[in-house]
Amino acid sequence: ASRANALGLQFVPDQFVKAAYKGEWLENAQQALRGAQPLATALDDLVKELKLGVFSVLGASQDEASVEALATKLGAMADGAGRYGEWVELSRSESSLVQGGARHLAERMASGEFDVERAEREIRLCRAEAIWTQAVTLRPALRELGLGARGRLVEEFQQLEADRRVDTATSIRAGHLGQMPQGAVGMMSIIRGEIAKQRKHKPIRWLMAEAGQAIQRIKPVFLMSPLSVAQFLRPGKVEFDLLVIDEASQVRPEDALGAVARAKQVVVVGDRKQLPPTSFFDRMTSGDDDEDEEDQPDQPAMGAKATDLESILTLCEARGLPSRMLEWHYRSRDPSPRKV
């Protein structure tokens, strides 16, 4: 009876159906219930597989929720598939708070009782106090420092940090110069020969294929667009330790694939609030992919394809890759730009 009610069917005892309809409608009702049973079984499997909390959101149990309300909720979840990355990031942050002993803070933020900006200030203050407490525990002499002495120590630390950055840059330059290829044989003979030419230079794609390793040792950092990567770097000839995709919200997944395939690690940098790449011409030239998918009902349900997502940034978010927010803004001392 509860299953019938959940599916929008009115449950009537058999004896009343027989008396009122002379048994003709009883068989139809039983057939309807038998046909609804596979739907109920599939729904049970879906809830168990995805661990859905849909029914708590609907304010009803699984047996009491209507099919229409459930379909609406699942449809909204499907339409918001592109924001699953935000949910994953939020879930990780909440887990970090809980593991750090701030469960009450996470609960108050989730309920809206605690302002997010105020919570950020409180967390920063608690972190600073925890660091200071740990430092005092390890070095009790810190308790005897006055405010003036602390200020001088901070200034000294800042100066040492600035010196360390300069020394690090100098060390990197020295290491790079120390591994520069020398001589005029092998790949260097090709490079020196092209440098000496006044005309009839070899194409860049050929040069990168024949002397790419030596060129990378001379210039280890390449600044290229996705199109340039496909145009000038032959697959399998050049490999990078790290690929950084800037303005990732403007790069389509299919355009970034070539560069990603040539790198061991990838860092994707972008702002999801920026406008995505224009899809005006894509809509004019694309076929009816939705109709093709509907024509194949036996195909298993899959997540969004890479080509269905608007940028490499949304693709990474949809796949739940680890993400971090900008902590330092190099263009200004004021922290407000990174909070926009």
Task: Provide CATH code, domain 221-284+304-340.
Answer: 3.40.50.300
Domain ranges in the chain are 2-79, 84-138, 180-218, 221-284+304-340
pTM for this entry: 0.49
Six-digit token pair at 140? 């009790």
Residue 9 near residue 42 (C-beta atoms within 8 A)? no
- The pLDDT of residue 223: 92
Location of structure tokens 């000294």: 156
Q: Rounded to whole angstroms, how far apart are CA atoms 76 and 300?
A: 20
Dist CA 210 CA 189 (whole Å)? 11
Give me the pLDDT at residue 142, please: 81
Query: According to the model, what pLDDT value does residue 248 have?
Result: 86
- Backbone φ and ψ of 162, nearest 5°: -65, -40
pLDDT digits (tens, 9 = 90+) for 160-186: 999 999 999 999 999 999 888 888 888
Instruction: Say whether 21 sits in a helix, a strand or coil.
Output: helix
For the chain, state the CA radius of gyration: 31
CA 117/CA 184 separation, integer angstroms = 61
Asked if pLDDT for residue 29 goes beyond 70, the answer is no
Q: Cα(162)–Cα(53) distance, rounded to whole angstroms?
A: 51
With a pLDDT cut of 70, the percent of the chain lying above it is 67
Mean pLDDT score, 7-29:
49
For residue 40, give the H/E element and its range: helix 24-50
Q: Does the pLDDT at position 265 exceed 70? A: yes
pLDDT attached to residue 9: 45
Higher local confidence (pLDDT), 151 or 228: 228
Query: What is the C-alpha separation between 230 and 215, in angstroms, rounded?
Result: 17
Among candidates 313, 319, 223, 315, which has minimal Cα distance to 274? Answer: 313
Give the span between the Cα atoms of 127 and 102, in whole angstroms: 12
Average pLDDT over residues 197-219: 90
pLDDT tens figures, 63-87: 556 667 777 777 777 777 777 777 7
The share of the chain scoring above pLDDT 90, in percent, equals: 16
- Please state the rounded mean pLDDT for residues 261-279: 81
Quickly list DSSP for 283-318: HHH---HHHHHHT-TTSPP----GGGSSSHHHHHHH
Answer with the residue of higher pLDDT: 290 or 196.
196
Can you list the positions of beta strands (E) in 57-215?
none
187, 202 in Cβ contact below 8 A?
no
**7 — pLDDT class (breaks 50, 70, 90):** very low
CA 199 to CA 135: how far, in whole Å?
Answer: 66
The predicted structure's pLDDT at residue 12: 46
Q: Running DSSP on this structure, what letter comes out for residue 69?
A: H
